[in-house]
A = this chain, B = another copy of it.
Amino acid sequence: MKSKILEFLKTNEGYISGQELSDILGVSRTSIWKVINQLKAEGYGIESVSNKGYRLIDSPDILSKAEIQYDLKTTVLGKEIIVYNQVDSTNKQAKKLAIDGEKHGTVILAEEQLEGKGRRGRLWKSPPNKGIWLSIILRPDLHPSKASMLTLIAGLAVVHTINRYTKNQAFIKWPNDIIINEKKVSGTLTEMSSELDVINYVVVGIGVNVNTTDFDDEIKEIATSLANEEGKSFERALLVKGILESFEKFYDQFMVDKDLSHLINEYEDNCINVDKTVRVILDGQEKIGKAIGITKMGELRFVQASGEEMILNSGEVSVRGLNGYV
């Protein structure tokens, strides 16, 4: 109901009275009044004038369930959303919830992560109220060996969403980092729990640096935020909705054949590595060659100096440009 009331406030030009809301939603005026107070407590500026009603005068950049579900165009993803103010990590929470049976499509968000993690335990700085720290619980009918493709789906979803709102073009660095002006704005950590040949659940964790403006010295050469690159701040709930909508769309396409065959072109068009000379670190050995695209399994097609093509699995390599991070 909170989401509904927020919708009326957002779409209504003038005042809307408690009685009108009560009539439309079929709940008591007391319930309406309670929800209005909850919204105020969450930071919404709502003016109340006697005999006129309520009017939204300020919508803060907060990640609430109501805000994200308002006008969210998905059928499954985000039907359940759990927002924490502060957590160790959204993936950790998502995994525990999944063990207790939380269902496919549930989304976990936090305003702040104290122990945000990237791949292989690397720290992911997640300061309060500045970014999107989000985990999606999935229970795909899929062989565990195919779960790695979901990380490319996440990359596609994020790059699409960012490019709807930015002037600078964002790209995917295979398999799933998102790059603007050669710096990383987003990363994905996909984790899976499985029996030997059956997936219990997959947690896709997505981090996006949105409005962060200060980065530690040791990462400022390789990490950035949308705000830093675009010179303005972004409404995070809009981006979250975009990511969930795009993720669901690509996920549905993926599940048709349980591979990326319908998404290869889409992915390659957005991948910064394709047709570029790249450096690959494979088992500690460095190789230089050209990335020429991806396979339908999400592997990178890489042509060595010798002309021989190699297929690189997700996670086995670091791909770096000859100059710097990308």
Interface residues of A (CB under 8 A from B): 92, 95-96, 99, 119-120, 144-145, 147-148, 151, 189-198, 200, 313-316
Contacts and interface: CB of A to CB of B under 8 A. Distances in A.
Nearest to A189: B195
A314 B196 CA distance: 7
A120 B316 contact: no
Contacts of A99: 92, 95-96, 99
A168 to B, nearest CB: 29
This chain's copy number in the assembly:
2
Contacts of A315: 195-198
A192 B195 CA distance: 6
Contacts of A148: 196-197
A193 B192 contact: yes
Given A151-B196, A190-B195, A191-B200, 13 more contacts: A96-B96, A96-B99, A99-B99, A119-B195, A120-B198, A147-B196, A190-B196, A192-B192, A194-B194, A196-B315, A197-B313, A197-B315, A198-B315
25 contacts: A92-B99, A95-B99, A95-B193, A99-B99, A119-B195, A119-B196, A120-B195, A120-B198, A147-B196, A151-B196, A189-B195, A190-B195, A190-B196, A191-B193, A191-B195, A191-B200, A192-B192, A192-B194, A193-B193, A194-B194, A195-B315, A196-B314, A197-B313, A197-B315, A198-B315
A96 B151 CA distance: 24
Contacts of A144: 144
Nearest to A192: B194
A151 to B, nearest CB: 7
Contacts of A194: 191-192, 194
A187 to B, nearest CB: 12
A119 B194 CA distance: 11
Contacts of A192: 192-194
A320 to B, nearest CB: 18
A192 B201 CA distance: 11
Contact of A197 (B92, B189, B198, B314): B314
A305 B96 CA distance: 47
A96 B94 CA distance: 11
Nearest to A100: B92
Contacts of A195: 119-120, 189-191, 315
A197 B313 CA distance: 9
Contacts of A189: 195
Contacts of A120: 195, 198
A175 to B, nearest CB: 8
Contacts of A92: 99
A138 to B, nearest CB: 14
